[in-house]
Amino acid sequence: MNSILMNQAIQAFLLEDIGQHDLSSDSIFSSETMGEGVFIAKETGILCGIAIPPKVYEILGGNVQFEAVKKDGDTIKKGDIIATVSAPVRTLLSGERVILNLMQRMSGIATQTHIAVKQLDDSTIRICDTRKTAPGLRAFDKYAVQSGGGFNHRNGLYDGVMLKDNHIAFSGGITEAVSTVREKLGHMVKIEVETETASQVKEAVQAGADIIMFDNRTPEEIKQLVKLVPDHITTEISGNITLDNINHYRGCGANYISLGSLTHSVRALDISFNSKGGIKA
């Protein structure tokens, strides 16, 4: 992920948590007191966010020796050591919660994505995310999807046109909406159109959409709708798809399945940080 965005975000997260200082750690330990710690997996899943600890430690003052045992995208099992670190105790303790909050969430998203890919079991269809991310965490969330074997949809409203039902309704129809966008934007910007019926799909094709989404359609319906779309137009499925039913879409003929659940309701993967050997002289 973009290192500048990561640095800015982590600085804000640390400011939120630490404020002016860490009352607990600063009251007990001097700035010279050194310690060792270890990150351990408490359950099985896909690791993501291994770059977070050293970045947090760097912002908090450095003088850190960090060794990653696992890398992003690795499968980790309960009891696995993820990384070891030697640093000022203040740094270890003040940065612990921000590090774990991010790593646990990112690993949870990567794990959820990995499960979705395995459940679908169709290499012709890519699993992708949506904009249903936690505010301030989109870059982290979307990187985690990649680590789990998924792909990213647009990053925001600024890097791709997606004409949903309300855009179409306010514009007076698919043809009008696509035509208006084409007149104002250059050839580098792709246009996606959300559809629900065969007539809408045909209109989107005729209007020159680059991507057509089939919204809230059954696998059987999608198999019929994709027949209406020329090969040069990308197709996407979205709506009411879960880990429990995603396998029903195997072989449906679409190019992508977008899942908001990868990020909007993810369960964090349990990772802990423990002291190792107490204080270092």
58: annotated active-site residue: no
Query: Which pLDDT value is given to residue 186?
Result: 87
Query: Which pLDDT value is given to residue 279?
Result: 57
Query: Which pLDDT value is given to residue 281?
Result: 47
CA distance 72 to 33: 31
Query: Which pLDDT value is given to residue 210?
Result: 97
β-pairing verdict for 161-163 and 75-76: unpaired
72: annotated active-site residue: no
194: annotated active-site residue: yes
The residue ranges of the chain whose pLDDT is under 50 are 281
- State the number of CA atoms in the 13 A half-sphere of 144 facing the CB: 33
User: Which entry of 132, 182, 202, 276 is annotated as an active-site residue?
Assistant: 132
257 Cβ contact list (under 8 Å, min separation 6) = 120, 125, 126, 127, 128, 236, 237, 238, 241, 246, 249
The answer to whether 132 and 263 have CB atoms below 8 angstroms apart is yes
CA distance 52 to 163: 36
197 Cβ contact list (under 8 Å, min separation 6) = none
Query: Which pLDDT value is given to residue 280?
Result: 59
118: annotated active-site residue: no
User: Which entry of 42, 70, 97, 182 is annotated as an active-site residue?
Assistant: 97
The answer to whether 278 and 35 have CB atoms below 8 angstroms apart is yes
